[in-house]
Amino acid sequence: MGSARHIRGWGSLADINKKEVSRREFFEQMGITVGAAAIGAAALGGAAGLTAPGAAEAQTPAGKIPDTPYKVGQMTFFSGPAAVLGEPMYKGTVLAADEINAKGGLLGKRKIDIIKADENAGTDANVKELRRLKVSEKIDFFTGITSSGNTPALGPVAEELKVLTIFVDGCTDFLFDKAVPEPKYIFRITNIQSADGVTAALAMVQTYPEVRRIAHIHPDYAYGRNAFQHVRIVSEKLLPGSQVVMEGWPKLGTTDFAAHITKAISAKPDILFTSVWGGDYIAFYKQALGYGLYKKMKYATTLALGVAPQAIGKDHPEGVIGGCHANYYFTFPAGNRWPLNNTFVRAYYARWKEYPNFQAEGAYTAMNVLRTAIEKANKLTGGWPEDEAIIGQLEGLGYSGPGGYVYIRPDNHQGYKDAMTGFTKNYPNYPFQTMDTSRVITIPIRGITAPPGWPAPKGDDTRTSDWINKTWPKVTG
């Protein structure tokens, strides 16, 4: 275990507006932490009243609580490529529901009844299914969703149907930037997509400040372009004189990455950055191994560790930046520093015989955030709280989850927690590659996301990108 190097948190937006700072100064002010022990200093100001799992459990609920089941509609991928993400999400929801039900249910009375739906039906069919869940199944709460293609379609419908919703993922900035800019019923737990690229880029800048020649290989659709956009804006700010020396855009369905790999090698970059994911990523890295790519350049990813822990093999290069969607990796925070994670991982493994991924943690946290809000609302209103009362408690809620502190911003209903990434490493205790527990990078989320009130930019830009572009200094040195 390496020792943690904990740096002060970011001061204020005014500091960011300084036009010239050194990179070292920038990182110090931002509060990036590298090491084994960090738990970020939460998100934004409203997290003062942090709640931990089960904090209110011992208290008797106020008023009369019905014993009718609390129906939860859970939609995620149970088939297709994204099932590797979706099934852990469902497992996280079930684990939380089981724990709550074991204590009598929500407010000790209402057992959670989960109705699952396959997100792989396609966006249009998913919209219909949400309507069916509300109208026919009469769900009380909707959760899940993996794909960012789906949250912008489902969010407005959830608002229209007035169904209380916490999306676990579907992390596109677009949801709250533009599709539902003034949400009432919908919330989201996992970090926004822009955090993915920004986090990985900051890890690159901090770890390899000398790199200037950057190659990119990203999937040729919106996700890849989002990653590219955010890595590029960070690079432009923090790596003066850096340049994109190569772009590779493998199309959806590409299985032979040789052309992109050889092109990247020919470009002689200092570092290669990629957001290729899942089975495509496995094919990519194995082919890159064959070309000796990792001996010729540094390497950073947004998602090498961002699928499921067991999804990546031990032949993957060690010591490279292995992103986990800027969200959660099951070995961090370490159990001796953050027992909540230890408890969660043990319970998850006991239930499901595998280790949780970020979707599992997000889903588990979403259910507990809901539980917490219901308990808080009950204290205020007595009896079973109306959705409006629950929403009131969700807004601004701070919650201590397995992955750290989560704060639900009241203005946009987005969950914020400190972003994280790390370095790949093989440990004998695991039959797959994991994250180096001594070199985890955490970044206070407030340092990489646009603050409340930041106007939505025109065009395809994200708030985050626009905010970074307009407020981050260009560092010197």
Partner 1 sequence: MRRAHNHPTWWARAALLVLAVAVPAQAGHESPFDPSYYPHEIRIETMTPAAAAGPLAHASIQAFVGGDPYADGPVPANVTPVESLDAYVVLTANPKRLKDRDARCAATRRVAAAIESQMARKARPGAFVFAPYPVTPYHADYLAHADLAAAARRQFSVPAGAGLEGLPVAVSGTTAAALLGRAADPTGGAAAWDVRVETVPVRDLLGPHTTGFVGWIGPPWLEEGWFDAYLLMSAGVTDRGTRSEVERIYGRLTDGGSGQSEADTVGLQRRLVSLLQSGCERAVVGYTTRREYYSSAYSPGVENIGFDAYDGFDSGIFVRTAKLKDFPWNGVLRLGVAGSAAAPWNPVAGFTDSFGQLLWAAVGDPAMLPAPYGGGWIANRIGTWQTWSVKFQRVFGGVPAPGGSRHEIDIPADALLPHPGTGAFDRVGAGRRAADMVEYRVLASAFHDGTTMTTADVLYPFAFAYRWGETADQKARAYDPAVGRDSALVRRFLRGIKVVRVDKAVLNLGADLQLRYDVPIVQVYLAYGTAGPYTPLVAMPWSTVPWHVLALMDEAARRGIGALSSGAAGRLGVPVLDLVRAPAQAAELARLVDQFAASGYVPEALRGWVTAGEARKRWRALGAFYRDRHHFLVTNGPYRLQSWSRTGAVLGVFRDLSYPLGVGSFDKQVYPRRAFIRTVLIRGGRIEFRPDVERLFKYDRYYKIVTEALGSNTSGAYDDVNPVCRYIVVARDGSVVRAGTAPGPRDGVYSFDPAEGLRRGDYTVLLAVFLGANYMTPDVKIIAYHK
Residues 48-87 that bind partner 1 (CB under 8 A): 77, 79-85, 87
- Distance between CA atoms of residues 112 and 110, nearest Å: 6
List 29, 51, 143, 146, residue binding partner 1 (CB under 8 A): 146
Q: Is 279 in the site for partner 1 (CB under 8 A)?
A: yes
Q: Cβ-count burial of 253 within 10 angstroms (0-12 exposed, 13-18 middle, 19+ buried)?
A: exposed
Residue with tokens 């026919």, as numbered in its chain: 136
State which residue, 85 or 441, has the beta carbon closest to partner 1. 85
* 457: number of Cβ within 10 Å: 18
Contact mark string toward partner 1, 97..136, x via CB under 8 A: -------------------x-xxxxxxxx-xx--------
The DSSP string of 327-340 is T-BTTBS-TTT-HH
Q: State in angstroms the smallest separation of the CB of 37 from partner 1.
A: 28
Residue of 142, 167, 185, 223 that binds partner 1 (CB under 8 A): 223
Which one of 282, 320, 406, 440 is in contact with partner 1 (CB under 8 A)? 282
**CB of 174 or CB of 185, closer to partner 1:** 174
Examine residue 431 and tell whether it contacts partner 1 (CB under 8 A): yes
Check binding of 225 to partner 1 (CB under 8 A): yes
Q: How far is the CB of 302 from partner 1 (least distance, A)?
A: 10
- Contacting residue, 206, 378, 421, 462, with partner 1 by CB under 8 A: 462
**Which of 140, 280, 375, 418 touches partner 1 by CB under 8 A?**
280
Q: What is the identity of the amino acid at 170?
A: G
Count CB atoms within 10 A of the CB of residue 46: 15
Q: Which two tokens stand for residue 202?
A: 């900051």
Binding part of the chain for partner 1, among 57-65, 272-280, 381-389, 434-442 by CB under 8 A, reads 272-280
Tell me: does residue 179 bind partner 1 (CB under 8 A).
yes
Contact (CB, 8 A) for 413 and 393: no
Question: Which range in 13-21, 289-297, 336-344, 352-360 contacts partner 1 by CB under 8 A?
Answer: 352-360
**Cβ proximity to partner 1, 77 vs 328, nearer residue:** 77
Q: Which residue from 14, 58, 102, 252 is in contact with partner 1, where contact means CB under 8 A?
A: 252
- Residue 240 CB, nearest distance to partner 1 (Å)? 28
Residue 224 or 403: the one with the smaller Cβ distance to partner 1 is 224
CA 87 to CA 154: how far, in whole Å? 19
Cα 48 to Cα 66: distance, rounded to the nearest angstrom = 31
Interior CA angle at 194 toward 191 and 196, to 5°?
Answer: 65
- Whether residue 333 has a cis bond before it, omega within 30° of 0: yes
Instruction: Identify which of 39, 87, 55 has the alpha carbon closest to the alpha carbon of residue 372.
Output: 55
Q: Which of 101, 310, 342, 471 binds partner 1 (CB under 8 A)?
A: 310
Q: Shortest Cβ distance from residue 153 to partner 1 (Å)? A: 5
User: Binding residue for partner 1 (CB under 8 A) from 25, 28, 55, 254?
Assistant: 254
Nearer to partner 1, 169 or 375 (CB): 169
Full 3-state SS string of 161-190: HCCEEEECCCCCCHHHHHHCCCCCCEEECC
DSSP class of residue 51?
B
Binder of partner 1 out of 354, 410, 438, 471 (CB under 8 A): 354
Site for partner 1 in 378-407 (CB under 8 A): none
Phi, psi of 241 (to 5 degrees): 85, 0
- Residues in contact with partner 1, total (CB under 8 A)? 73
Q: CB of residue 47 vs partner 1: minimum separation in angstroms?
A: 27
Measured from the CB of residue 283, what is the shortest distance to partner 1 in angstroms?
4
- How far apart are the C-alpha atoms of 346 and 331, rounded to whole Å? 11
Angle at 247 (CA atoms; ends 242, 248), nearest 5 degrees: 150
18, 59, 460, 470: which one binds partner 1 (CB under 8 A):
460
Q: What is the 3-state secondary structure (H, E, C) of 362-396?
A: HHHHHHHHHHHHHHHHHHHHCCCCCHHHHHHHHCC
Is 358 within 8 Å of 328 (Cβ atoms)? Answer: yes
> Which residues within the stretch 153-172 sit at the binding site for partner 1 (CB under 8 A)?
153, 170-172
Residue 143 makes contact with partner 1 by CB under 8 A: no
